[in-house]
Amino acid sequence: MPRRRSLRKVVAPPAFKGFKPYGISSESTDSVDLLYEEYEAIKLADYDLMNHQEASKLMGVSRPTFARIYESARRKIAMALVQTKEIKAVYGNAWLDENWFICAHCNARFSFPANTTEHKCPICKSQEIDPLKK
């Protein structure tokens, strides 16, 4: 029986859809998929400077699982830098803390405060927004 992969808690999805290298002679078409949970692992460990114990608790995974996600994230980013690949943010096995939305117009990702009644993109004010899902 296939084991169901446990979901990893991500506090906020990446605010970008991807990164693209520039200043290279040929147009890169290759890309690496950076999962939301990999982005979160990099953010917690290298941006928020949490230790792996704290970070794994926050994401609701074991320490070895966190280490694996983190290692995978670093390898993907290193590969993108060295091989001038694009980085794409991909949903992966994440579950999000709040209900997040994506703007169909400008691709912004955002959540609404609990007391909001207006459902508009906070960036471009478009009403074409969709729940952020896989």
| Binding region for Zn ion (CB under 5 A) | 103, 105-106, 108, 121, 123-124, 126
The residue (of 13 and 92) whose beta carbon lies closer to Zn ion is 13
The residue (of 11 and 123) whose beta carbon lies closer to Zn ion is 123
Alpha-carbon span 40 to 59, nearest angstrom: 8
At closest approach, how far in Å is the CB of 109 from Zn ion?
Answer: 10
The residue (of 32 and 121) whose beta carbon lies closer to Zn ion is 121
Q: Which residues lie closer than 8 Å to 116 by C-beta, 6 or more apart?
A: none
CA distances from 126 to 18, 70, 106, 111 (A): 21, 35, 8, 14
At closest approach, how far in Å is the CB of 120 from Zn ion?
Answer: 8
